[in-house]
Amino acid sequence: MRLVIISCLWIGSHCIGQKSTIQEMKEVVISYSLDTILSSNEWESLDSDDIQGLQANDAGDLIQKLTSTSIKSYGGLGGLKTVSSRGLGASHSAIVADGFSIQNTQNGQVNLGQIHADNIQQIIGGTNQSVSLMLPISAQVSGSQFSMETFENHFGNNGLQFRIIGKQGSFNQLGSYGTMKYSNKKFLMSAHGSYRKTNGSYPYTIQNGSQTIEDFRLNNDYEDHTWGFTSGFKGRRSFFRLGFLQKNFDQGVPGAVILYNSSADERLTSSDNSIFGDYTTKGNSTNFRAFFKLNENQLHYRDPNFLNTDGGISDMYKNRSLQVGANLVKKFHDQFKVNLGLEQIQSQLTVDNPNFARPIRAHHYGLIGADYEFANKMNLKLEISSQFINENNLNGMSAINRFRLNPFVKWSSKEYNFKFIQEFWYRSSFRMPSFNELYYNNIGNTSLLPEDAHQINYGWSIYPIHSKNYQLFVRQNFYTNFVSNKIVAIPTKNLFIWSMQNVENARILGTDIKIGSHWNISKNIKTKIDVNYSYQSAVDISEKSSPTYGDQIAYIPLHTGNVDLSVIYKSIGIRFSNYALSSRYALNENIEENKVNGFIISTLSTYYTWNTKQSHSITLRFTIKNLLNESYAFVRSFMMPQRNYLIVLKYAFN
């Protein structure tokens, strides 16, 4: 399993630093407005109250609370963390922050452990292309989208605002976050910075046959700092934003426990720099957005004990990309509108190793769609998107160019005074192999075919009870996905030489259900209960003669679920959160030797808020994670932390 880390190293993975979330203290009391529930009806979402209560380490800890998602975390602190939705791979999921895509053409997936949770105010997950027509087309046509809104990058009318957070936790975790934002009806100016550090040496317990092994995680130290600023101008019907963000990481790279490297010799340092901007106009009949993002990621991986003729590995990677695009939504009358979109992403990878490929990719997107509403009760949406990928390798053989047309169809209806909603949709999507999958030494295969996916979904939601003091919401989806040419990594000579191959066909059948209840027991006491459950049967149906035919695809669990309870009494709050994951398999062959045990992880968090004069507030929060001291792993042999603690002190102005 250590090779999993090596093959994904170029992400620049970092360890988890435990975090709190940012919001105005006057919003600490949970809001039970109908608007919040309506957003949960059409999309999977977490609002600012949920995020603050969860005290998530990073964006991955938040996304795993959504239905039909699977997180792969390679050892907690210092480990890579990715997400897949509805059985599709991580590269099928688009991650968007404040309307700008977070991308990595080198490895095709985003490390959620690198996305701080301190400033996230909302996360919306979608698979039906309903999150926003103003998102980049590359995100809209992905198999799923996870869109985040941060404190620093959106307009408001609150004037000057401050947020300062200090954190201390188990394993010598230290963290700080500070931001200042000024926003009114016309201007936005914000600046923020954060710092996290830990030695990452946490205890673990693992069962090896009849033997129980107890030890400490080594080579897992971690340090990062992030800073950025955003400015903007808002007119009567338009706004403009321009921002910069820099992230820097320095960490050890721990291996699998069974192949444990205790010499602390593998190091990973990386930096990520982004400049982004957009211009948006919103009119009575026309909405328009144009945007750009320039990104450079530098990664340096060192392993002085790797057995090769050079006496180790010391490679520097630079992955540059430029993303530009525009979206237009034109309403011709109240029932009919048309949306158009164009986008281009230019990517280039350079390496100081002369034997490595020098790939350049131009990825072109186009989209046209129509939306018609019948009698304010039924809606029909039709879209077709195009993608053309031009591939050029300056140092060796190039992968061939690709072109796809992908349709999307959605029908929905609203009945019983909008209390019962149902929808049916179909989408076709595909994802291009990453640079590593095509070109990386001893791994890449330039003949790889893109993954093609066909998704079908039927869902319904209902509000059986909705009153001033009590609300109940239920939603369920049934879905099936068919994936052709699924890309997998197959080991060959040894753990450092793998072969990238296509699995011909995979079939995914699933359902998820979510129940939410908000109850205002009295003026001072409020409760909130959220329960969700997901079932995903994702099996290989390529060849009946294969030993893996009909077996569950590696690391996709059959069952996942969350049970969360929040209680608020005046300025005191408590949240009890539970996450359950069933057993799964480390390889596609479902035999006992490949089985990874399931687990249930509980987190208990409590806080108290002091509200002072002139909109000042102080919040003290104490969190116990892995309350029952469970020994568990998302990925076999990459053990997660056992019981640990976090203390957070937050000061907020306005």
How many CA atoms lie less than 13 Å away from 344 in the CB half-sphere?
Answer: 4
Least confident of 17-26, 251-260, 381-390: 17-26
Answer yes or no: is pLDDT of 530 > 90: yes
Q: Give the model's confidence band at 99: pLDDT under 50 very low, under 70 low, under 90 confident, else very high.
A: very high
| Residues 414-425: tens digit of each pLDDT | 888 778 999 999
Average pLDDT of the segment spanning 125-138: 80
Per-domain residue ranges of the chain: 2-653
pLDDT at 55: 83
pLDDT at 70: 87
pLDDT at 6: 35
Answer yes or no: is pLDDT of 490 > 70: no
Instruction: Provide, rounded to the nearest whole percent, the portion of the chain with pLDDT above 90.
Output: 54
Distance CA 248, CA 237 (A): 37
Residue that wins the pLDDT comparison between 103 and 13? 103
Answer yes or no: is pLDDT of 614 > 80: no
Answer yes or no: is pLDDT of 264 > 60: yes
Q: How far is CA 310 from the centre of its chain?
A: 37
pLDDT at 389: 96
At residue 434, φ and ψ (nearest 5 deg) are -75, 170
Q: State whether residue 10 is helix, strand or coil.
A: helix
Q: Tell me if 200 sits within 8 A of 189, measured CB to CB.
A: no
| Residues paired with residue 246 on neighbouring β-strands, in sequence order | 227, 273
pLDDT at 258: 67
Average pLDDT of the segment spanning 121-131: 78
Answer yes or no: is pLDDT of 37 > 50: no
Least confident of 284-298, 310-324, 332-346: 310-324
| Residues 157-188: tens digit of each pLDDT | 889 999 999 999 999 999 999 999 999 989 99
pLDDT at 193: 96
pLDDT at 90: 82
The pTM of the full predicted model, rounded to 2 decimals, is 0.88
Instruction: Provide, rounded to the nearest whole percent, the portion of the chain with pLDDT above 70.
Output: 88
Average pLDDT of the segment spanning 231-249: 95
Q: Give the model's confidence band at 504: pLDDT under 50 very low, under 70 low, under 90 confident, else very high.
A: confident
Tokens of 527: 């409760």
- Give whichever of 7-21, 124-138, 345-359 has the largest mean pLDDT: 345-359
Q: Give the model's confidence band at 78: pLDDT under 50 very low, under 70 low, under 90 confident, else very high.
A: low
Average pLDDT of the segment spanning 319-339: 94
Residue 401 identity: N
Answer yes or no: is pLDDT of 638 > 80: yes
What number of other Cβ atoms are within 10 A of residue 606's Cβ? 16
pLDDT at 292: 97
Answer yes or no: is pLDDT of 336 > 70: yes
Average pLDDT of the segment spanning 144-150: 91
Answer yes or no: is pLDDT of 317 > 70: yes
Answer yes or no: is pLDDT of 320 > 90: yes
Q: Tell me if 423 sits within 8 A of 411, measured CB to CB.
A: yes
| Residues 395-434: tens digit of each pLDDT | 888 989 999 999 999 999 988 877 899 999 999 999 998 8
Q: Are strands 93-97 and 144-150 parallel, antiparallel or unpaired?
A: parallel
Q: How far is CA 354 from the centre of its chain?
A: 34
- The residue among 397, 147, 358, 100 whose CA lies nearest residue 242 is 100
Answer yes or no: is pLDDT of 10 > 80: no
- CATH superfamily assigned to domain 2-653: TonB-dependent receptor, beta-barrel domain (2.40.170.20)
Q: Give the model's confidence band at 495: pLDDT under 50 very low, under 70 low, under 90 confident, else very high.
A: very low
Average pLDDT of the segment spanning 505-518: 94
Q: How far is CA 228 from the centre of its chain?
A: 21
Q: What is the mean pLDDT of the chain?
A: 85
Q: Give the model's confidence band at 104: pLDDT under 50 very low, under 70 low, under 90 confident, else very high.
A: confident
Average pLDDT of the segment spanning 377-391: 95
pLDDT at 18: 36
Cβ neighbours of residue 70 closer than 8 Å, sequence gap 6 or more: 83, 84, 85, 87, 536, 555, 556, 557, 560
- The residue count for the chain: 654
The DSSP result for 182-237, as a single string, is: EE-SSEEEEEEEEEEEE----EEEEEETTEEEEEE--S--EEEEEEEEEEEEE-SS
Residue that wins the pLDDT comparison between 575 and 204? 575
pLDDT at 2: 37
pLDDT at 205: 82
pLDDT at 4: 37
Cβ neighbours of residue 550 closer than 8 Å, sequence gap 6 or more: 539, 540, 541
